[in-house]
Structure 1
């Protein structure tokens, strides 16, 4: 049997993998939707753009549902704190996502340009607002959130929606939007030909330097300008979850020291910049698949950097540091973690294999000729 400490760490890795899968797959979905009204000047061009992601966007979005479900099952205290304290922000993400199924399914049902243009901007909102808000969320995870736990371990959120919109968090939101748009532009270049292909290449030249500059600003700000808490005393990592059984203090801007204490973790931010820079370089030429893979490595490394920076914290409390949640004291029971582990080990590979098969079957360039040939069946 896997002991309690090990299974908690394993689930931290598993949920990180799901978050990376969501960022890489839904990232280009969001990016393509953001670029839709900007790169598509005619109805045919916009249909080309939409059909690059039309058959697979629903499957990609399932990673977000899986991520929320995994947090609910594995870290119920984190789920309760995030989804109650950040209720307004979560609803905004949800409302923005409503535009996506309706936009994909109804946009081409009526040929009226006003109808189609309205849904194009709806898809734009559905692809732009979620990455911004999710980026703001990541920024607030690094800054910490104002919440506390009472003696019955009930969560009380002490802040407001507007407090989430700090300059650092907004910068993270902008970088998140730039990252998804860059990733989406690479995907469009890979899946299209002709004028849309050329415009996607031009978009890369604009987005890449902004993304790298924004990412550098975020990392520099986090490393030297944000306080990091430190656990000075806690119960054994094998103990039942009780976040109040520890002592936490703020040690000042200690994020860089945290990475320097474990030098291998520095590979994550290095790979983030290297992957995105290589994607930019390769994206200027014909090697679109390699560029997209490098971009995927860059996005994955950004999330790894955030995960390593927070470890072992999951949520940092600014109003009561002792209430901060870690993977050692915010998890479900040992039995729940073990049962969920074996279910995941069995079914996750099946999901991955099926996803790979779907992309293989549906792959190919989306062209104007393909749109004309299947005008009534394509999006």
Structure 2
């Protein structure tokens, strides 16, 4: 873990998390599982989970057992699904904490069942079918044997199959229709083997808002919980949940023709003022964004000048007169003209997910419930 910098912080707007969760809940008759993996997409998993549960989510989703146990340690008692494990894992702590486990292969299922037998408990499992993403999940030719094994282990009380699920490649066109068909076929195979799980789940953020056919009994919004529109063709009214702020720590006036930062990729074309900002790629700002990136100072956008370094970057503010200590908004909701996380993702040629989850541990998080609370901390 890095030592927090005193010159930057990320404000996490829990009211935005609540708003977004409520929007997803209103879009479906299914239950809502809020995905809080990767420390809540960099926002703080325990605090985000609490806000999402208060606003209508009834489940939480994480990648690993360790992430699930962090939520339990934070006092979260809601159902949690953890979905990425190997067959050599020790599932004891997760099973004792009442964490549901996803299973994609017979060896995984046997390992979970063996652990349940040692503990004298019944493992709650969700069987995952590969419907075309070709990552995790059992292929159609493997699926019948997996569900038969699950049936046999359920018969002796070692597992309870609580769900069947899969993950979408996209939410448009023939690919999604094919995945829905394969998913429905997988469910029918499981039912033919005697399994009757109460939950089927397939929908991500975009599908929850735009593809009702995929909702079944549970939906799993992820990036949308944090206010990133999952389909750039539509504005569903989501609110950004993170604002990244820093301070100007130095300014200097330089003449025309001054090269800035490593290799002098950026050369000033006039006399101008440069402002130094103490954030860099070690804090999650992508170097690839530098040629196009902007930040907001005193309500005006200014370009990043030259390469983003490990711990700092430079802003060309022209004839503006920022002072040491003035606030720099790296990204935020965009309501006051500041860049958004989607802007930074576009400048870097990546996804907002990568920007948010990349904001490093040196950047402290301030969780606020309302704008009034944020202003009181400023």
TM-score by length of 2: 0.23
More helix by share: 1
Higher RCO, Cα 8 Å, sep 6+:
1
Please tell me whether Structure 1 or Structure 2 has the larger radius of gyration of its CA atoms: 2
TM-score by length of 1: 0.23
More strand by share: 2
